[in-house]
């Protein structure tokens, strides 16, 4: 075993929750501006729902079993990053939907994988604290998405900026994930 409980840091176990929170928070406000730019989205409710679809969690377990937790999370971050770029430059609703599906796929895998990772790799004495911190980071991600949405409300390309900003936190989280130590079934 590499190090003891003192070698663990909160960042290692909880950064995944932030992406889930940011993704769920940012789309709620961005959708208002998307409807202004793309009339067909405003008229067709199913397009709005498709933009908010989540599919990654459904296959996350299989991916985790095949690739392991760390590789799954890193891959999910790459998919998320690509999705944010696609959404930020979307010239049409169908491109936006493709980007959102990529983002949600990455978020679904990450949120599922981090829950597994926390339960398998954290010492039992502090496992509950890590789960709570993960939950707080989901809420913090939602809060920060609202602040970012507010900051870009009066800027041209509003929804593009709102959705594109997430790629910066993804890069930071990707780098932090590379520093994770490999621990399994820590009791």
What's the rounded mean pLDDT across residues 47-54?
58
Measuring CA to CA, which residue among 128, 85, 97, 116 is closest to residue 185? 116
Give residue 143's pLDDT. 94
Give residue 181's pLDDT. 57
**pLDDT band at residue 185 under the 50/70/90 scheme:** very low
Q: Length of the chain in residues, anyone?
A: 187
Give residue 8's pLDDT. 45
Give residue 14's pLDDT. 60
Q: What is the 3-state secondary structure (H, E, C) of 144-170?
A: HHHHHHHHCCCCCCHHHHHHHCHHHHH
Long-range contacts of residues 37-46, Cβ cutoff 8 Å, at least 24 apart:
37/159, 38/92, 38/93, 38/96, 40/93, 41/93, 41/96
Give residue 38's pLDDT. 83
* pLDDT (tens digit per residue) in 70-128: 888 889 889 989 988 998 888 888 888 888 888 888 888 887 888 788 777 777 888 88
In this predicted structure, the answer to whether residue 5 has a pLDDT above a threshold of 60 is: no
Q: What is the 3-state secondary structure (H, E, C) of 31-85?
A: HHHHHHHCHHHHHCHHHHHHHCCCCHHHHHHHHHHHHCHHHHHHHHHHHHHHHHH
Give residue 107's pLDDT. 83
* pLDDT (tens digit per residue) in 154-179: 888 888 888 888 788 888 888 877 77
Of the listed ranges 43-57, 62-76, 167-181, the least confidently predicted one is: 43-57
pTM, 2 dp: 0.78
Average pLDDT over the chain reads 79
Q: Kindly report the CA angle at 102 between 63 and 76, in degrees rounded to 5?
A: 40
Ordered by where they begin, the domains of the chain are 5-178 (1.20.1250.20)
């Amino acid at each position: 075993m590499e190090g003891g409980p003192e070698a663990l840091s909160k960042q290692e176990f909880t950064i995944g929750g932030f992406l889930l929170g940011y993704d769920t928070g940012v789309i709620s406000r961005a959708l208002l501006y998307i409807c202004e730019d793309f009339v067909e989205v405003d008229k067709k409710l199913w397009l709005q729902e498709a933009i908010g679809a989540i599919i990654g969690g459904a296959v996350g377990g299989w991916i985790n079993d095949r690739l392991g937790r760390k590789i799954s999370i890193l891959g999910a971050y790459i998919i998320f990053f690509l999705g944010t770029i696609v959404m930020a430059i979307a010239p049409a609703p169908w491109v936006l939907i493709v980007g959102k599906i990529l983002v949600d796929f990455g978020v679904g895998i990450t949120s599922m994988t981090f829950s597994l990772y926390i339960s398998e790799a954290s010492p039992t004495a502090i496992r509950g604290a890590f789960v709570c911190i993960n939950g707080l980071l989901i809420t913090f991600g939602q809060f920060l998405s609202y602040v970012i949405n507010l900051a870009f409300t009066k800027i041209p390309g509003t929804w593009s900026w709102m959705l594109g900003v997430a790629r910066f936190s993804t890069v930071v989280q990707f780098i932090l994930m590379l520093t994770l130590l490999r621990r399994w079934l820590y009791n």
